[in-house]
């Protein structure tokens, strides 16, 4: 039995990723379609950044061709070969371990994919698409990913500027609980900053923008948020501990000469480009001003940290992949071992029936004879089976399997 993976990922153009995205209904149809072919097992992993089909079977090369034809037929992309990647054997095994651990993601070390890998396995198992091989492969990959997450905590090193900014504030202020903040802007960065701040349980958050349309939607999603008229943005500065501003204004919106008398420590994150806050504001006593360059330095440093930790993650993956491949090589002899055991059972039953006809045995004697026959036959095959399992070279193992099949006419 071999394994392979065929699909597209975050390196593929978005217009192709959009076309090959699987709905739940399409996953059901897809797995059933694949199982009707020569494919023994199949798991579909479909996220916003990838559409991958993992398969296991005896004639893996033919199965790969069938998956590619499936993509063509199912999604009507005749030139799908120009976009899909194909990985076979150890490369396919390495791949799912890398994916589960977030080592093959657009954002290195992200851990959302781990839950998606587990969901893909569960979904396929429910449909009977994943069995002995892929069940073991995915479970081991998930276990390795959890180990990496627990030991290295790569995903806890922030990369986005807004999240790094909040971490910086938390580090400087000690705790953001019961603090007050002013957020200026209603775009993606401001919304993300608001989300992070609300998680820190602030007592009050003011939010303002030149137009109020988007602000109403934000307030509906978060409690303790008060919409402030844009013209009054300076009026609450002496009441807050934090200002986060990320507008698309082409000019300065916070000037030094308009700032009130600052009585408490004030931390300002200027996440806009061009900048929203006049540089001279940072000269005011008790004001701590940070712009994108300050946060990008931290983001770059964090990316370097993630890359360093990812090397350790690769070591863990390499070790665990070796264990899986060893298991996979051993189960290749399972059919032969099963046939040998079955032949022994047949001999034991025939011999026992013959003895039973020839001798007048009581119930106790029958049990003893039956156990002795089983034990004797097991002794005959025990060493050959043990030696067969310990063969490391694939070619030698294949040759022994062929010989045994031929000798015993399996």
- For 220-268, write each residue's pLDDT tens digit: 667 678 899 999 999 999 999 999 999 988 899 999 999 999 999 999 9
* CA dihedral (385, 386, 387, 391) positive or negative: positive
In angstroms, the CA 314 to CA 322 distance is 12
CB 314 within 8 A of CB 82: no
Spatial strand order of the sheet with 50-57 comes to 41-47, 50-57, 2-8, 85-88
CB 92 within 8 A of CB 10: no
CB 219 within 8 A of CB 198: no
* CA dihedral (90, 91, 92, 95) positive or negative: positive
Three-state DSSP state, 41: strand
In angstroms, the CA 88 to CA 4 distance is 4
The model carries a pTM of 0.68
Non-local (6+) Cβ contacts of 280 within 8 A are: 256
Place of tokens 């893909």: 120
In angstroms, the CA 316 to CA 338 distance is 33
Parts of the chain belonging to CATH 3.30.460.30: 2-155
Active-site choice (14, 48, 300, 368):
48
Place of tokens 């986005």: 160
Q: Which of 137, 119, 33 is nearest to 75 (CA)?
A: 33
Buried b (16+ CB within 10 A) or exposed e, 84-104: beebeeeebbbbbbbbbbbbb
**Backbone angle region of 153, left / alpha / beta, with phi > 0 → left and psi within -120 to 50 → alpha:** left
* CA dihedral (277, 231, 240, 188) positive or negative: negative
Kindly report, residue by residue over 48-86, the tens digit of the pLDDT: 889 999 999 888 999 999 999 999 999 999 899 999 999
Q: Which of 183, 272, 186 is nearest to 233 (CA)?
A: 183
In angstroms, the CA 61 to CA 361 distance is 57
Q: Which of 159, 92, 97 is nearest to 318 (CA)?
A: 97
Would you say how long the chain is, in residues?
410
Non-local (6+) Cβ contacts of 140 within 8 A are: 97, 320, 323, 324
DSSP string, 65-120: HHHHHHHHHHH--TTGGGT-EEEETHHHHHHHHHHHTTTTSSSTT--HHHHHHHHH
In angstroms, the CA 154 to CA 306 distance is 6
Select from 3.40.50.2000, 1.10.287.130, 3.40.50.720, 3.30.2310.20 the CATH code of 161-297.
3.40.50.720
Catalytic annotation present for 48: yes
Tokens representing residue 69 in the block: 């034809």
pLDDT of residue 301: 85
| pLDDT tens, the chain, 410 aa long | 789 999 999 888 888 888 898 989 999 999 999 999 989 999 999 988 899 999 998 889 999 999 999 999 999 998 999 999 999 999 999 999 999 999 998 778 888 899 999 999 999 999 999 999 999 999 999 999 999 999 999 988 877 788 888 888 888 888 899 999 999 998 888 888 888 888 888 899 999 998 877 777 666 667 678 899 999 999 999 999 999 999 988 899 999 999 999 999 999 999 998 899 999 999 999 999 999 888 888 888 888 999 999 999 999 999 999 999 888 877 767 777 777 788 888 888 888 888 888 888 888 988 898 888 888 888 877 887 777 777 766 666 667 677 776 766 66
Parts of the chain belonging to CATH 3.40.50.720: 161-297
CB 19 within 8 A of CB 43: no
Sequence-ordered alpha helix ranges (H) in 233-362: 292-331, 334-358
Let me know if 169 is exposed, middle or buried by CB neighbors in 10 A (0-12, 13-18, 19+).
buried
Q: Does domain 2-155 have CATH number 3.30.460.30?
A: yes
């Amino acid at each position: 039995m071999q394994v392979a993976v065929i699909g597209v990922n975050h390196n593929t153009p978005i217009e192709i990723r959009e076309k090959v995205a699987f709905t739940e209904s399409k996953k059901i149809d897809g797995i059933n379609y694949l199982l009707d072919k020569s494919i023994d097992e199949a798991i579909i992993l479909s996220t916003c950044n990838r559409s991958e089909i993992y398969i296991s079977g005896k004639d893996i090369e033919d199965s790969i061709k069938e998956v590619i034809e499936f993509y063509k037929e199912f999604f009507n992309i005749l030139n799908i070969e120009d976009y899909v990647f194909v990985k076979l054997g150890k490369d396919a095994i390495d791949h799912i371990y890398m994916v589960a651990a977030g080592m093959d993601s657009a954002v290195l070390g992200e851990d959302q994919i781990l839950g998606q890998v587990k969901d893909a396995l569960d979904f396929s198992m429910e449909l009977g698409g994943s069995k002995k091989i892929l069940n073991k492969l995915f479970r081991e990959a998930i276990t390795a990913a959890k180990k990496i997450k627990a030991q290295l905590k790569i995903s806890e090193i922030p990369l986005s500027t807004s999240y790094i900014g909040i971490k910086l504030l938390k580090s400087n202020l000690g705790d953001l609980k019961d603090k007050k903040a002013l957020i200026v802007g209603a775009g993606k960065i401001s919304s993300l900053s608001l989300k992070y701040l609300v998680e820190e349980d602030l007592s009050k958050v003011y939010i303002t923008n030149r137009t109020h349309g988007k602000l109403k939607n934000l307030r509906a999603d978060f409690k303790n948020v008060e919409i402030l008229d844009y013209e009054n943005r300076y009026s609450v500065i002496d009441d807050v501990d934090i200002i986060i501003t990320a507008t698309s204004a082409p000019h300065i919106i916070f000037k030094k000469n308009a700032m009130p008398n600052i009585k408490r420590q004030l931390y300002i994150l200027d996440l806009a480009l061009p900048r929203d806050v006049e540089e001279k504001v940072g000269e005011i006593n008790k004001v701590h001003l940070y712009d994108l360059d300050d946060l990008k330095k931290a983001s770059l440093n964090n990316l370097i940290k993630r890359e360093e930790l990812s090397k350790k993650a690769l070591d863990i993956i390499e070790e665990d992949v070796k264990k899986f491949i060893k298991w996979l090589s051993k189960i290749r002899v399972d059919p032969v071992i099963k046939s040998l055991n079955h032949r022994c059972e047949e001999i034991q039953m025939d011999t026992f029936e013959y003895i039973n006809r020839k001798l007048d045995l009581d119930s106790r004697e029958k049990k003893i004879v039956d156990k002795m026959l089983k034990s004797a036959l097991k002794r005959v095959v025990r060493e050959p089976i043990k030696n067969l399992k310990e063969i490391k070279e694939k070619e030698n193992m294949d040759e022994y399997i062929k010989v045994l099949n031929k000798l015993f006419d399996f």
